[in-house]
Amino acid sequence: MADDERLDALIHSVDLDGLVRMIDDRCSDRDWAGVLRLRDRCAAATRETGRQLWPAATLAEYRLALLAPPEWAATVLDGEAGRFTIGPLSEVAAQHHTWADLRPHLDAVPISLFVAHERAIRGESIDPSSLAPLPPVLDIPAALQSWEPAYTVATYGDAGVEHEMPASSGVPVDTEVTSSAEVVDDEATELALRQLVETWTASSTGRAESVCVEGAAADAVAALGLHSIRIVEIPADEALATLAWAGASGGAHGRRRGAAMGRFSTWWLLGALGDLHDDWPPTVDEVETLLDELTWYRWDAHEPDGGWRVQLAVENTTEGVAWAFNARDDA
């Protein structure tokens, strides 16, 4: 039986195990045209007949984005594929392909801009002229700015994706906190935090809360209803990298949004803290001035290790206000 005849038979019988083996064989043979045909035929059969072949189509497009040469990887970077992959194909493709190699094969669609941002996060210098035809769906520069941290990036493989939380510095100190500080209504920052961990709360089992007070960081944590905590001051780079890690993550059960979205969400949260949304994006000087005014802390309430967490506090002594963030998604 010819190879594509066998493909038709596997599709007709909804033999997912057989389709996975065929994908493996075609990848081993570097038959990328064959992998793409398999993806297209499985996707068409799912749409037209209702056969549940989307897992095979998803695996095929994931392998193309991850392993195939740029001209073949670009065939699934059209904005339609990747709905069920473990992470956005823009991030998957960015692991092994440069922007310079992919750009000639990409259409002027939103996902192409995400690829550029993912590559910039991984250290590639992006020529701004190569972005000009692309829809400005991420209205921040692709190039990393001088104030940004070294973001952690995901590693994709056949067994899934790994994305380690940024390393923690300092030793938290046991602290009893009580506060009668006045709570300040800060809807912009609360919304920015919720958007940053939206996948945790909407697609998984997570929860998120924030509070702003007139006072110090410990006052803000106490305003969350906590009394016995551990807290330590941390560098701004660590705090920003942690926020970006959370924004990129899918939490315990959600789908990853990718480093580009994590980075954008971190910019947006910083904009809320500094009231910088009106003239967006902020300049380097505006953000650096804001960061000079902010002191960051990591805290916990003696919870056991595990799960996904963003437990940070930040104070602006110039303005006399502080915020506490508590976002968690337990496995």
DSSP string, 177-197: ----PPEE--HHHHHHHHHHT
Q: What is the pLDDT of residue 3?
A: 82
Task: Give 254-288 pLDDT, tens digit per residue.
Answer: 999 999 999 999 999 999 999 999 999 999 999 99
Task: Give 94-138 pLDDT, tens digit per residue.
Answer: 999 999 999 999 999 999 999 999 999 999 999 999 999 999 999
Name the residue range of residue 111's domain: 77-144
CA 113/CA 136 separation, integer angstroms = 8
Query: Does the pLDDT value for residue 6 go beyond 80?
Result: yes
Selected residue with higher pLDDT from 93 and 178: 93
For residues 128 and 239, membership in a common domain is answered with: no
Last residue of a domain, one of 14, 44, 68: 68
Last residue of a domain, one of 36, 68, 100: 68
Work out the average pLDDT over 170-182: 92
Q: Is residue 151 part of a domain?
A: no
Work out the average pLDDT over 74-84: 87
What's the mean pLDDT when you consider all of the chain?
95
Q: Is residue 156 part of a domain?
A: no
Q: What is the pLDDT of residue 1?
A: 52
For residue 253, how far is the Cα from the chain centroid? 14
Percentage of the chain lying above the pLDDT 90 cut: 91
Last residue of a domain, one of 22, 47, 68: 68
For the record, the structure tokens of 164 come out as: 């380690």
SS (H, E, C) 15-54: CHHHHHHHHHHHHHCCCHHHHHHHHHHHHHHHHHHCCCCH
For the record, the structure tokens of 219 come out as: 């006052």
CA 229/CA 221 separation, integer angstroms = 9
